[in-house]
A and B are shown apart, each in its own frame.
Chain A
């Protein structure tokens, strides 16, 4: 633990990293699947799925958080079922913070992967199919290597978004130090305290550095996706 952060600040930072890591990792497989469906699929409800995925981007985060609370809260229709059957709950747990972050970051993840997928010539996949590859093999050997930089860029963006998530998190799982208090909610809490400015400022600096880093990494990777597909 570095000595320029108090235990409380360090706790918020490490919790944020943990929440964002899991939010990103867990949403990756469904993110790729949804991106694939949106980029390639032709099915009824295509527009609906597209709208649903992008909803968290346009809804006020508080609304998303409240909807999550209604759904996954202990009294929520899905939350109560999860609690009754598995004794598991998202409410006021770090897993809930991760869920909120994942939902908020999902549109960014899907967008980046979808863009990469749309740049892949479907003929490459069809050629692989006529050479005997099943759909799964085509995806793993042809599509995935081509979109990998896009997937990584999407993941980096999603991670950064998750690190900064505030409204949905605080509405859904509140602001409990050590359990649901992430960097942004910690900054908010420090700002409410007399003399908390210095601590808040340190966390702000960390947030800015992480966000900038993520943006740079994402940009570099997006450029590589284009170059790779162009056959460099």
Chain B
């Protein structure tokens, strides 16, 4: 199939340089700077109201930044209307045209460009094959299932051969099973076409599973930009650590760092954990993930807290154990369901311990002071 986007060279990179967007006195996006590479699958991840959709709408041209510059393929797009940008946007509700059959939906962008009917039809059928929906050309939108509509929306956006594809939580209306299937599908389509994808989601699983890189946002600010693995394993602050996964959090006073490790002394004892060089002088807390928290009968050599087990939840591949340490502090650990690791009972007293290399001393979110 002769699809222009199959060569990654056709896709464009996107640069946001100190982009701000104000709605009245409310700053929806604050000083966002990011460089998205051509052909990259980039996700903006954050809770609703964090500014991620505003970024998407600025890139697609529906709103202009209050400050800063947006470049697509190196070209400043200030003042360029949505229909003249090399971007295609897929909405959360898909926005398929209800009065047109599927093939006309897909070929809409081609019709706008004055391409003849036979070519349009051919292209629509090719794209239907690409999204694994052959034979749907003459159906109406209302005859398709949620997942099928999803594919049509992708095909319709791909038809105009965009350099950049913008996706605004396109999977959130689907049920869990279909959502997981479409994740893999989207990723495969992106690889096949080589188009730059910018994906907006509040679902950390989605962002981590599909993206080359993720930008985590909170209150209009980009908190961290990194590969999914890094976001999860090396979050730069407490917001990122908490948004992408569970944590046991300890508070206390942090001593001086040496060799990237510092001590935190608080009501639950003294702990050692990794600390980032630029964290000096900030208020820090200790974050450690439940799957890195080990439960033992005996106290470990370091980083060990006594707790009483209050709840044991069977999750299949692992068992989630919750407990209370001194002062009512809640802690969690995940015990692998491997038949070897002992699973504590409710009411039992155990020690929750973790490796200093697995724990992080992090500041809170990066927000306006």
Q: What is the interface of chain A, defined by CB distance below 8 A to chain B?
A: 121, 123-124, 126-134, 137, 141-142, 145-146, 228-232
Contact = CB atoms under 8 A, between A and B. Distances in A.
Tell which of A127, A129, A137, A145 has the most Cβ of chain B within 10 Å: A127
Nearest to A131: B109
A103 B96 CA distance: 37
Which interface residue of B85, B98, B109, B157 has the most chain A CB atoms within 10 A?
Answer: B98
B89 A130 contact: yes
B272 interface: no
Interface string B104-130: 000011011100000000000000000
A133 B83 contact: yes
B93 A130 contact: no
B340 interface: no
18 contacts: A124-B95, A124-B97, A126-B62, A126-B91, A127-B95, A128-B108, A130-B60, A130-B87, A130-B166, A131-B83, A131-B88, A133-B109, A133-B112, A145-B99, A146-B98, A230-B142, A231-B140, A231-B141
Contact of A228 (B87, B99, B109, B157): B99
B82 interface: yes
Contacts, number: 72
**Which of the listed residues A137, A145, A231 has the most CB atoms from chain B within 10 Å of its own CB?**
A231
Contacts of A133: 83, 108-109, 112
A232 B99 CA distance: 8
A229 B89 contact: no
B93 A132 contact: no
A231 B142 contact: yes
Chain B interface, DSSP helix/strand/loop, else mixed: mixed
B58 to A, nearest CB: 13
Contact of A129 (B83, B97, B113): B83
Contacts of B108: 128, 131, 133, 141
A121 B93 contact: yes
The 10 tightest CB contacts between A and B, nearest first, are: A131-B109, A231-B142, A127-B95, A231-B98, A123-B95, A130-B89, A129-B82, A133-B112, A132-B112, A123-B91
Nearest to B60: A130
Contacts of A228: 98-99
B82 A146 contact: no
Contacts of B156: 127, 131
A232 B91 CA distance: 21
Nearest to A128: B108
A169 B62 CA distance: 46
Among A123, A130, A137, A230: residue with most chain B CB under 10 A: A130
B140 A121 contact: no
A232 B113 CA distance: 28
Contacts of A123: 91, 93, 95
A27 to B, nearest CB: 26
Nearest to A120: B98
B262 interface: no
Given A142-B97, A145-B99, A146-B98, A131 B157 contact: yes
Contacts of B140: 231
B160 interface: yes
Nearest to A146: B99
A52 B332 CA distance: 65
Contacts of A126: 62, 82, 89, 91, 95
Q: Which of A129, A131, A228, A230 has the most CB of B within 10 A?
A: A131
A231 B83 CA distance: 25
Contacts of B157: 130-131
A149 to B, nearest CB: 11
Interface string B136-172: 0000111000000000000011011000001000000
A126 B82 CA distance: 8
Contacts of B88: 130-131
A137 B112 contact: yes
Nearest to B159: A131
Given A231-B142, A232-B142, A132 B99 contact: no
Contacts of A121: 93, 95
Contacts of B89: 126-127, 130
Interface string B57-71: 000111000000000
Given A128-B112, A131-B160, 13 more contacts: A123-B95, A127-B89, A129-B62, A129-B81, A129-B82, A129-B83, A131-B156, A132-B109, A133-B108, A230-B98, A231-B98, A231-B140, A231-B142
